Structure 1
């Protein structure tokens, strides 16, 4: 199990046992995700606060039932969306119409409100693993990703900048990418990168 997943699992376990610090850590960690979902639904401040609090209440009620800590962000996101929709339903009026253009305008919010937060979290985790590579790999990978004037940097230019033979750059790059892939696999980040 990846370190981040173990950390979430440990916090869930402690929170279920009544540890207030662990509970506060979970709230601090996932509150930005929930607030972004509430904002996406366009709720009033009071309704957004209610949806936010109800989501945490649902987690509190279900702390013992969370089987896969890695899925906690998704569970919280889904629960928050349901709470937001539940608050919206009673206030919406039904107006029959045969104008399809109006139906397109009245479609509910998409389920991707949390996408920017999840992508930012995934990217932060990716760069943490990148920083674990040795300095040589980091330099090679960074230089090969620079794209001046929209063109890819040539191997000749990178090899010259690193004072190494052009022929060795490709194999070393491959080994560096393999190391990075292993680090990402160990932390469970590779799947998130493939899904995005």
Structure 2
């Protein structure tokens, strides 16, 4: 493989030749590694940048127009990845591992509590309101006339009845502290 030029290696790699891919990586690995380290990234971040660069090459093998400039393409791609890591690292706020645990509910716990409150409020509605809202939520493909027929009310009063049911549900949710 060593006697092959970069153009030939890229063509073979595009066709799925793993030996060609390994030769490309072998030839350029030190170069790709040097770029994030020159940006003073720690070894873990540098490894992530290198991995992202090789992934970008794998995804763009067919788009490399000047194979003889592969080294420059890899340097540019690696530099951009390194700068992205540096920019994002500035946004990270390290947590003290010994910090007291936050006792506030997690977003998942809040969502589950709201869900439980919604179902409790729903259970207090009349049978007709529960049926109208159930059909609206779980059978949206039904037409107004089909819902009206299923519930046993005139089509022209379905919209107003549904509006009243939703208003009652909102009031009960607000009264229970579930809705804001």
TM-score bracket, normalised by the shorter chain, equals 0.3 to 0.5
More RCO (CA 8 Å, sep 6+)? 1
Which protein has the larger Cα radius of gyration, Structure 1 or Structure 2?
Answer: 2
